[in-house]
Chain A
């Protein structure tokens, strides 16, 4: 079976005069891809275009060389989507909701029964399967939405903030679940939580201001920043001056002074040592100069 390939070709989206996407091009193959970027960078717009919830102003998306717009239902049959908002019918039980999604996807009853049981078990929703979705906690709703996205075992899984609202243990379970099902799939995972994709993503796509800033493996991205991340010991009174030497990634109290993690091309004029870069450092380095929050 040939490897799946999803290619975005110069995809643009304008809202009036505002350009939300300025010609996004990148290619995804089987594996997990993290879509990282600040708020308003165009991540959700890109996912909405991919899932057919928003038309692109121009550009195309190809799956295995075929335009997805022309594939229509054949493409949608391969797609599973978990949106950022908790989109559920409050009067439906968990089980009914999954059966409803199965009916929309044209799944057989036998297969639906099997998949629903499996996913409810995997996502620890068995006990609440008969409860209306309005009675679920935020974390349960999130897991139910993940279950509906994975219901038909789609080739392309699009997950928008899948771990939002989950406690640390659930977050690890969901992360591992995504990793385990992604063997022969394309999983595009949009998140703000960098550790979620740090260990499982094949590649990261960093998107900012409607453009792809870079696309690479987490290791390469981190390697590219080696020698630019510093652990600096400074007196508390000099803290305000650190901004002129680079970006402050984090800081903590250390003895009589403050230990600052600094991202800078050159070492600052304080006692310092280079440290191993993380994806958070990469993120900050890439998007840190976009100002404010």
Chain B
């Protein structure tokens, strides 16, 4: 095994990748842990509930008069923020103090559902689940959680970047140990040795396991260390229900026991994934196994968005969401049998690990180390042409799996924005109604319409005041009062529409702002960055294999002899840019389409500066121009990404390390330069 480990750690690229990911993990975790309001909250936890309640009351009083908003003696320096912070802290403390009541309520709900018979009868899954739920909460009721600040533990719970880095490193290690060696041809030397294939496989498997465990310990250990350093881990002997976010945990565990189990499950999950990657690496070539792994992870992401507990919990990514195993009780329906999510996760991880290890072993031992000549069905005569661009396009799309990457990106994006929703409710509905009338250039009719609407609301206001005055004697008027009050909710949207309308110049148009705000406000920009990261991730994973194709296959020698190296490289670059532009459309259009389906994109030909957000833009630029420019900008970024991938591929001569390096550099850079 030590020789296999030496092979792994002897690979400079893998070591550099591991180092960079571990450092990035530490940095990003520190950012994550200090981003919230935990530092001042830790101070507030030292005070009693009564003191906090008094503080909250005092802050509310000061806020009501609004005379002194800023106060350096406060932890946050701002009475409103301080008020929210104290409120949050009190809510957390109350959640722990009211634990017995919460448990009793959950148990009562389960019993009520059971007794009504509405949620299943006899031995149905629902009935069995409810019976089990009742039993579980009966046991947990005896737990006595205590108020203690567990900020260090809480920051660990929802941080999943360490998981991502762990998966990436497990994939790199599995490919390096299995796929790369097969492709380099060294397996041909190792297989016939005296020790035999099985012992070689065992050594490789153990080395992979050891490497994954070591890297996982470094990644999660870093997080734990930073947490402990920043906030401490609290009293580890207290029941886990003392941790905010875990008050509904259905297991009798101490905080220390929970942490041990939390990390043990993460390790088991990473080992199972490493086994799966080893299986893929034994079954496919390295480029194909990388694409297959990405495809599986993408599919898992898509499954996670489905409205099914089974799909959400037991996909490859969901299995690693260890926090969700403890934050409440959830039974999964296994052919009518209720299985707790924790047990199901353990079982699936175990089966995945054992199956992958056995499958990879069988392939390793039985399969010829020489890359087998695979039979493929005869193709059409599509290649019988002499258009060089056509051949380069074929190399990209069909010969090297770009189509798969593109389809995966489309699938991920479509699923991501399938259930897209923006602002809703009566206010939005009123605003949309006003906007549909006001839409377009300003006119006398529209100004009159606004005045009419204002007058109408004024009348409603007067009616409401009259009804309220007489309501004390006539309680049956409450219903009418409610209806009028509801109608008055139109006042705020009307004011918004009026302000917007009055700010227009004669050449500008009134535009329903919601869809454009969704695309360009802070939330929209954050979504754009995530989409950009997905786009660059797709390009990083695929293009290194495309750019190094000539070197890897040796055909570059023939191309050089034909004097066509520069031409081929130029065409490849062009094809890669076209691919990047198609990927850009695949990454960004689904969101625009989702916004369009929900809110429409009105007045696309109107001047963009009609919207306050684009007030600085020149008159000649219409809204469609802004959309087109935005897409062009992302397309340009994607093309720059292609240039970076090409440069990295030229420097790092092997495509797999180049792909991993690009994965780290490009999407990582996007998220670091444009933090969410």
Contact = CB atoms under 8 A, between A and B. Distances in A.
B488 interface: no
Contacts of B395: 89, 91
A92 B398 CA distance: 9
Contacts, number: 106
Contact of A112 (B381, B386, B391, B568): B386
A89 B553 contact: yes
B361 to A, nearest CB: 25
B391 A83 contact: no
Given A93-B383, A95-B381, A96-B384, A88 B555 contact: yes
A85 B554 contact: yes
A103 B381 contact: no
A134 B284 CA distance: 14
Contacts of B558: 81, 83, 87, 101, 104, 148
Interface string B560-571: 111110011000
B399 A92 contact: yes
A76 B566 CA distance: 14
B391 A95 contact: no
Interface string B375-419: 110110111111110010011001110000000000000000000
Query: Of residues B374, B382, B385, B400, which shows the largest number of chain A Cβ atoms within 10 Å of its Cβ?
Result: B385
Contacts of A108: 386
B555 A89 contact: yes
A104 B387 CA distance: 9
B351 interface: no
A53 B382 CA distance: 31
A235 interface: no
Q: For chain B, which range describes its interface: under 10, 10 to 19, 20 to 34, or 35 or more residues?
A: 35 or more
A107 B384 CA distance: 12
B397 to A, nearest CB: 10
A135 B373 contact: yes
A95 B384 CA distance: 7
A166 interface: no
B399 A53 contact: no
Given A52-B560, A53-B560, A102 B553 contact: no
Nearest to A85: B554
A99 interface: yes
B376 A81 contact: no
Given A88-B555, A89-B549, A92-B399, A99 B385 contact: yes
Nearest to A74: B563
A223 B561 CA distance: 37
Contacts of B374: 132, 134-135
A97 B398 CA distance: 14
A8 to B, nearest CB: 17
A87 B553 contact: yes
Nearest to B549: A89
Query: Of residues A51, A103, A137, which shows the largest number of chain B Cβ atoms within 10 Å of its Cβ?
Result: A103
A81 B557 contact: yes
B378 A130 contact: yes
B555 A132 contact: no
Nearest to B375: A135
Contact of A79 (B555, B561, B567): B561
A192 interface: no
B559 interface: yes
Nearest to A113: B384
A105 B385 contact: no
Contact of A103 (B373, B379, B391, B555): B391
A100 B560 contact: no
A90 interface: yes
A99 B554 contact: no
Contacts of B384: 95-96, 99, 113
A168 interface: no
B485 to A, nearest CB: 68
A157 to B, nearest CB: 11
B400 to A, nearest CB: 7
A109 B381 CA distance: 13
A72 B567 CA distance: 14
Q: For chain A, which range describes its interface: under 10, 10 to 19, 20 to 34, or 35 or more residues?
A: 35 or more
Interface string B252-277: 00000000000000000000000000
A163 B379 CA distance: 29
A73 interface: yes
A53 B550 CA distance: 13
B251 to A, nearest CB: 52
A51 B558 CA distance: 9
Given A86-B554, A89-B555, A130-B378, A76 B388 contact: no
A52 B384 CA distance: 28
Query: Of residues B378, B383, B554, B562, which shows the largest number of chain A Cβ atoms within 10 Å of its Cβ?
Result: B562
Contact of B561 (A53, A130, A137): A53
Given A51-B560, A104-B564, A92 B386 contact: no
Contacts of A202: none
A107 B386 contact: yes
Contacts of B559: 104
B563 A103 contact: no
A66 B601 CA distance: 67
A90 B398 CA distance: 11
A259 B575 CA distance: 66
A76 B553 CA distance: 21
Contacts of A101: 558, 562
Contacts of A77: 563
A87 B386 CA distance: 20
Contacts of A99: 383-386, 391
A85 B557 contact: yes
A137 B373 contact: yes
A252 to B, nearest CB: 31
Contacts of B371: 134
A136 interface: yes
B561 A52 contact: yes
B394 A102 contact: no
Contacts of A51: 557, 560-561
B556 to A, nearest CB: 8
A53 B557 contact: yes
Given A103-B388, A134-B373, A87 B549 contact: no
A90 B183 CA distance: 13
Given A99-B386, A103-B386, A107-B386, A93 B561 contact: no
A107 B386 CA distance: 7
Query: Of residues B375, B384, B385, which shows the largest number of chain A Cβ atoms within 10 Å of its Cβ?
Result: B384
B383 A76 contact: no
A53 B562 CA distance: 10
Contact of B568 (A73, A87, A104): A104
Nearest to A102: B386
A130 B385 contact: no
Contacts of A134: 371, 373-374, 376
A87 B555 contact: yes
A153 to B, nearest CB: 14
A131 interface: yes
A134 B557 CA distance: 18
Query: Of residues A51, A86, A107, A112, which shows the largest number of chain B Cβ atoms within 10 Å of its Cβ?
Result: A51
A164 to B, nearest CB: 15
For the complex of A and B, 3 pairs with smallest distance between CB atoms: A96-B383, A91-B399, A87-B554
Interface of A: 51-53, 72-73, 76-77, 79, 81, 83, 85-93, 95-96, 99-105, 107-109, 112-113, 130-132, 134-137, 148
14 contacts: A51-B557, A76-B561, A85-B554, A86-B554, A89-B553, A91-B399, A92-B394, A95-B381, A105-B562, A108-B386, A132-B374, A134-B371, A135-B375, A136-B373
Interface of B: 371, 373-376, 378-379, 381-388, 391, 394-395, 398-400, 549, 553-564, 567-568
Given A104-B568, A131-B376, 19 more contacts: A51-B560, A52-B560, A53-B557, A87-B553, A87-B555, A87-B557, A89-B549, A90-B553, A91-B400, A99-B383, A99-B386, A100-B383, A102-B386, A105-B564, A109-B385, A109-B386, A112-B386, A135-B374, A148-B558
